[in-house]
Amino acid sequence: MVTVARVQSLWVIVPAGGAGTRLWPLSRAGAPKFLLDLTGAGRTLLQQTWDRLEPLAGADQMLVVTGQAHAAAVADQLPKLPADHLLAEPSARDSAAAIGLAAAVVAVQQPDAVVGSFAADHLIADQAAFAEAVRQAVLTAEQGYVVTLGIEPTYAATGFGYIHTGEVLGIEGAPDAHQVLQFVEKPDAVTAAGYLTAGGYRWNAGMFVVRAQVLLDQLAAHRPALHAGLLEIAAAWRTPHQQEVLERVWPTLEKVAIDYAVAEPAAAAGRVAVVPADLGWHDIGDFAALAPLVARSYPTGLGRELRVLGDHDQVSATDAGGLVVATGGRRVVVLGLDDVVVVDTPDAVLVTSRESAQQVKAVVDALRAAGRTDLL
Amino acid sequence: MVTVARVQSLWVIVPAGGAGTRLWPLSRAGAPKFLLDLTGAGRTLLQQTWDRLEPLAGADQMLVVTGQAHAAAVADQLPKLPADHLLAEPSARDSAAAIGLAAAVVAVQQPDAVVGSFAADHLIADQAAFAEAVRQAVLTAEQGYVVTLGIEPTYAATGFGYIHTGEVLGIEGAPDAHQVLQFVEKPDAVTAAGYLTAGGYRWNAGMFVVRAQVLLDQLAAHRPALHAGLLEIAAAWRTPHQQEVLERVWPTLEKVAIDYAVAEPAAAAGRVAVVPADLGWHDIGDFAALAPLVARSYPTGLGRELRVLGDHDQVSATDAGGLVVATGGRRVVVLGLDDVVVVDTPDAVLVTSRESAQQVKAVVDALRAAGRTDLL
């Protein structure tokens, strides 16, 4: 257990959304990725997110924003989350509305608060490094910056945007904080390899820290209608009108990602910083990414190793390597296949290879097109 | 539909046993191979056996010998089988007792009958060739021979015994009947290849035709106690004492294979003949053998083809080749694997390769050792 110090001004916002389509049939519309224990840690991704942030901010400075469909499950998984810190969105209106509402609610209560937004479905192995990066990010945010955490790239990933890092800012207590020169979109493989060779590029994991008021000011400057709507809802928060105002205003809010609405305009204005961090960070995009993160691993012969998630007593394997997810309550037997992925659930079983794991999204799309919402 | 003529003296004995362990989890103790439609033909292997033999012998000259546990299922699957032609064994006492009892019961009713024994779980594609081979075998049996059908080998199989064929016997109406020089045990790969090169060797598929009295005489000569026990049961058959005598005598009978008790001694005495036959014969030993016999096949991309048995509407596949058996009532999705075998059932799922299909027996052995009889 790592002991970390409270960061007094920090309020944490956890946007808990995203279906994790590439993790079907384990991840479903009704049980998305963040509600699942994907690694066999005994805690769901949401709970692990809580566990790494609550020591920094304290339970009474934690907020979770999620869809109404998942509010009950979130409350159930996070018993220490104050009831009025669970913001249930009437509908999905993208991240600027979700995070902006939370920031507006915080700003009403504590005008000089710093908010940090951290996704509910990421894994971070190095809690001490994470706490230190957040601490430096908060100090930097207090100087008025929008501060991202920049993940040290470990390979030429094409699935993430990158942050092009400039000079050290020289902020006291935050020696690692750098200027951000530019956010760059998900690159192709050649460009990504070039970033790795050049150095100075970090993965954008979507984690950022900013004074609530700075975030709201950026919204006011670039998305005035969205800003006005969020303030109207926040003003009614914890009043008898809360639900009426939310239901009236929310559907009118612009759907826009926080990156476009806040981070990119701020970067263009030279107001974005990055704290580079080597955290053992993973976003678990698909079963190929998940396999090495699963705790239980069994040698099965021929030098092969099988990772097992779920009910490992139900799994038997010989000469089999890869990943088995056993959540169907049935016996799962794997013989003589390497790099295989078997995901057994009560109503669907997926058999694929690590190599083909990305194609799972197409399966889900096809099921949706075929009207099989019962399986989504 | 092939029209075949009745072979008047022929009585057919179908020993319906064998678990088909290598076809687990499809084949179970409670639902063994012969009770299953393994090819998607719409008829179980037992029913297909009936369909190919009933036109030759007539329903009233067909007998099935099976374990008491499967008697009801056999009766259900074969509604035209006369009730007193279903011989339910109180316990498994190997093939000499099972087939010997049926032959003894037939001999009481028709002393000059010829009996043919044909396993319940084989596939035969060429019904016309089969009927002709049986017709010649019956004519040869009427001359006092024990007559086997000798399957033309299509590869150097090590999983079957072989029949070493001698001279043509020159029996009228049975031009293909040859002397048998010797039965040989399952060979190693080199020996099997030698048999193929040498020619004159046939697979022993365990199908044989013989006068009931000749079979009983062979038993009397080589297994007198077994012979006496079988005659005692047969004498009580269809009397009020049938069940009492069966239950008393059956457990005392020697457990011995009909090959050892009858065929090999007869061969040593020069009294065994073989009718070579090219039947499109298969014994479906494992999923690798089953795959090419399954009727439904779908192209899935990359030039791969997936055979599907069971509920094909529940299967979706991309770039996948091999076999899927969908009997679990659930969605089965296969992506990007070739030569894969996926067998989905309500309480167990097997994922393997064609290459490893033989190893399924070890899984079943391990489940038995672990006391998981619920899965057997």
pLDDT in tens, A206-246: 999 999 999 999 999 999 999 999 999 999 999 999 999 99
What is the torsional sign of CA B321, B325, B328, B330?
A: positive
Contacts of B359 in chain A (CB under 8 A): 318-319, 335-336
Residue in chain B nearest A356 by alpha carbon: B336
Q: Is the pLDDT of residue A2 over 60?
A: no
pLDDT at residue number B6: 86
Q: Is A109 on the interface with B (CB under 8 A)?
A: no
To the nearest whole Å, the CA of B308 is away from the closest chain A CA by 15
Contacts of B369 in chain A (CB under 8 A): none
- Mean pLDDT, to the nearest integer, of A173-187? 95
Q: What percent of chain A has pLDDT over 90?
A: 92
Q: How far is CA A155 from CA A127, B62, B273, in A?
A: 22, 70, 71
pLDDT at residue number B1: 47
Q: Is B330 on the interface with A (CB under 8 A)?
A: yes
Q: Is B318 on the interface with A (CB under 8 A)?
A: yes
pLDDT at residue number B3: 60
Q: Is B334 on the interface with A (CB under 8 A)?
A: yes
Q: Is A348 on the interface with B (CB under 8 A)?
A: yes
What one-character-per-residue DSSP string does A77-126 give?
A: H-TTS-GGGEEEESS--HHHHHHHHHHHHHHHH-TT-EEEE--TT-EES-
What number of other Cβ atoms are within 10 A of residue A205's Cβ?
22
Cβ contact B351–A340 (<8 Å):
yes
Residue with tokens 């390769």: B353
Cβ(B294)–Cβ(B323) below 8 Å: yes
- Mean pLDDT, to the nearest integer, of A49-68? 97
Closest listed residue to residue B138, CA positions, set B111, B97, B177: B177
Q: Is the pLDDT of residue A357 over 80?
A: yes
Residue in chain B nearest A361 by alpha carbon: B335
List CB contacts of B108: < 8 A, sequence separation 6 or more: B234, B235, B237
Cβ contact B360–A335 (<8 Å):
yes
Q: How many CB pairs lie under 8 A apart between chains A and B?
A: 116
Q: Is B375 on the interface with A (CB under 8 A)?
A: yes
Cβ contact A335–B351 (<8 Å):
yes
Residue A256 banded pLDDT, cuts 50, 70, 90: very high
- Pick among B287, B335, B359 to test the A interface (most A CBs inside 10 A): B335
Contacts of A310 in chain B (CB under 8 A): none
- Ramachandran angles phi, psi of A126, nearest 5°: -100, 90
Cα(B134)–Cα(A244) distance, integer angstroms: 85
Contacts of A319 in chain B (CB under 8 A): 356, 359
- Which DSSP helix (H) or strand (E) runs through A297? strand A297-301
pLDDT at residue number A159: 87
Residue with tokens 């030759």: B56
Q: Is B302 on the interface with A (CB under 8 A)?
A: no
Residue A5 structure tokens: 């110090």
Residue A167 banded pLDDT, cuts 50, 70, 90: very high
- Pick among B26, B331, B347, B375 to test the A interface (most A CBs inside 10 A): B331
Per-residue pLDDT tens over the stretch B61-87: 999 999 999 999 999 999 999 999 999
Residue type, B108: V
Cα(A16)–Cα(B2) distance, integer angstroms: 66
Cα(B13)–Cα(A310) distance, integer angstroms: 49
Cα(B190)–Cα(B349) distance, integer angstroms: 36
- Mean pLDDT, to the nearest integer, of A60-69? 96
pLDDT at residue number B2: 53
Cβ contact A362–B318 (<8 Å):
yes
Cβ contact B362–A331 (<8 Å):
no
| Buried/exposed B315-331: b ≥16 CB within 10 Å, e otherwise | bbbbbbbbbbbbbbebb
Residue with tokens 């489940």: B367
Q: Is B349 on the interface with A (CB under 8 A)?
A: yes
- Pick among A21, A324, A335 to test the B interface (most B CBs inside 10 A): A335
Cβ contact A351–B366 (<8 Å):
no
Which stretches in chain B have pLDDT values below 70?
1-4
Closest partner residue to A363 among B316, B352, B359, by Cβ?
A: B316
- Chain A 19-58, CB below 8 Å of chain B: which residues? 25
Output the pTM of the full model.
Answer: 0.90
To the nearest whole Å, the CA of A354 is away from the closest chain B CA by 9
Q: Taking the domains of chain B in order of start, what are their residue ranges?
A: 10-282, 296-375
pLDDT at residue number A1: 47
pLDDT at residue number A18: 81
When the candidates are 2.160.20.60, 3.90.550.10, 3.40.50.12500, 1.10.150.120, the CATH number that belongs to B10-282 is 3.90.550.10
Residue A247 banded pLDDT, cuts 50, 70, 90: very high
Residue in chain B nearest A320 by alpha carbon: B352
Q: Is A344 on the interface with B (CB under 8 A)?
A: yes
Cβ(A45)–Cβ(A69) below 8 Å: no
Cβ(A149)–Cβ(A137) below 8 Å: yes
pLDDT at residue number A5: 78
Residue in chain B nearest A316 by alpha carbon: B363
Cβ contact A316–B346 (<8 Å):
no
Mean pLDDT across chain A: 95
Per-residue pLDDT tens over the stretch B209-263: 999 999 999 999 999 999 999 999 999 999 999 999 999 999 999 999 998 999 8
